[in-house]
Amino acid sequence: MIRRASLVLVGALMGATAMSVIYTAVIPAQAAGGSTYKELSIFGDVFERVRAQYVTPPDEEKLVENAINGMLTSLDPHSSYMNSKDAEDMRSQTKGEFGGLGIEVTMENEMVKVITPIDDTPAARAGVLAGDFISEIEGQPVRGLKLEDAVEKMRGAVNTPIKLTVLRQGADKPIEITVVRDIIAVRAVKSRVEGDVGYLRVISFTEKTFDDLQKAIEKIKKDVPADKLKGYVLDLRLNPGGLLDQAINVSDAFLDRGEVVSTRGRNADETRRFNATPGDLTDGKPVIVLVNGGSASASEIVAGALQDLHRATVVGTRSFGKGSVQTIIPLGENGALRLTTALYYTPSGKSIQGTGIQPDIKVDQPLPPELQGRVRAEGESSLPGHITGQSETQEGSGSVAYVPPEAKDDIQLNYALDLLRGNKTDPSFPASPEKAAAVTK
């Protein structure tokens, strides 16, 4: 689970879950040796003893689920068993839509603060406003809950109502608002024009990501004449990852050729290589990629591909360093097994497992006084039981994952804008297409 600090968190939309780089596959199991089955018979004996003799009757389903998870978590932090509910949540997240309210939230003063209600969603229609504080959910105080727990309470089945108690500036008493949950389609990409620069923020890699990115680029091209457009900022900060095929497609959007990524499993014949196709959606305009300690897995694939192929300059701080691929294997009763089956490698053949993407230009984003001492740099290398990367050093991976809520305070973004506009210079910018050609030969 990736922990990241941000004053802006899409809590009620995506939850606080870090999604793995995944692809769906069903792989036949191979028979284990005789000694293994003897050990499994011991497990059966222990289970029966616990079931029959434990001081209070245990939940047998939970016993089995916890035993399975114990086995998987002993492998690495990203392999796990998902029961039917967890598997359904995962499918909803990768589709980019689920039953919810449609609000972006954060935690402030031990209450859920609404950053903004999304247009034409249940929350907006019910009268929830930006700046509202949610103090109670279904009559239960929010105080004392973690943000992810409060978010989970607000999510639910479509067409079911939920009662929120809201504290609003200027109101003389709490306001009770009933919201009827509906399908919330989460935008995977947010975009805007920063004067003469196109800004693209990829929030996560769901089934909608490439389509959203394509539409965003087309809109920027319409808004800014080609001769005026200085380039693009691709913001991958706080992006926890998502679908492998979407990471490949997003990389391909900026490339004409070259290997995007390769995945290598236990056996040599399991190696897979994915290449870019002709057609750069940005017409070769300069690109700067922003990363920080919250950029993981799929976002690192994109940053690594564009960096290695010299299509973009990477600015920010070292990324999380999750270089493993999880296969989702469907199981009975709609559960699923999430199993680490491969590591991925950037075009230059480098694994970033436990090391992360080192930016071409390191630019720190200082924490505000209220967060200093409360937020620490974490990465894959700090996770207990992580797979040790081939190039991992004591320095490890990761960095502080913080993005200011206001663009004017965003040092990393403004540094990128200055580079694109020529107000700052650096030998690493612009990236060299000639070097990219050399890499792909």
Q: Is the dihedral of CA 119, 120, 121, 124 positive or negative?
A: positive
Q: Which of 322, 381, 397, 410 is catalytic?
A: 322
Establish whether 308 is a catalytic residue: yes
Count of Cβ atoms closer than 10 Å to residue 211 Cβ: 15
Pairing mode, strands 197-202 and 313-316? unpaired
Q: How far apart (Å, rounded) are the C-alpha atoms in residues 197 and 215?
A: 16
Torsion of CA 58, 60, 63, 67, to 10 degrees: 160
For strand 197-202 and strand 231-235, is the pairing parallel, antiparallel, or unpaired?
parallel
- Which residue among 204, 262, 297, 399 is the active-site one? 297
Rounded CA-CA distance 231/106 in Å is 31
Are 132 and 174 in contact by the 8 Å Cβ rule? The answer is: no
Angle, CA 340 vertex, CA 336 and CA 342 arms, to 5°: 135
The C-alpha atoms of residue 230 and residue 226 are separated, in whole angstroms, by 8
**Does 76 qualify as catalytic in the annotation?**
no
Please state, in angstroms and rounded to a whole number, the distance separating the CA atoms of residues 184 and 405.
23
The torsion angles phi and psi of 97, rounded to 5 degrees, stand at: -155, 150
Catalytic residue, chosen from 76, 132, 235, 308, is 308
Q: What value, to the nearest 5°, has the Cα angle with vertex 204 and ends 207 and 356?
A: 125
CA of 410: how far to CAs of 157, 314, 329, 403, 417, in Å?
37, 16, 41, 7, 11
Any catalytic annotation for residue 360? no
**CA atoms of 409 and 434, how far apart (whole Å):** 35
Q: Which of 203, 235, 240 is nearest to 365 (CA)?
A: 235
**Is 144 exposed, middle or buried, given 0-12, 13-18 or 19+ CB atoms closer than 10 A?**
exposed
Phi/psi class of residue 345: alpha, beta or left (left: φ > 0; alpha: ψ in -120 to 50)?
Answer: beta
Catalytic residues: 297, 308, 322
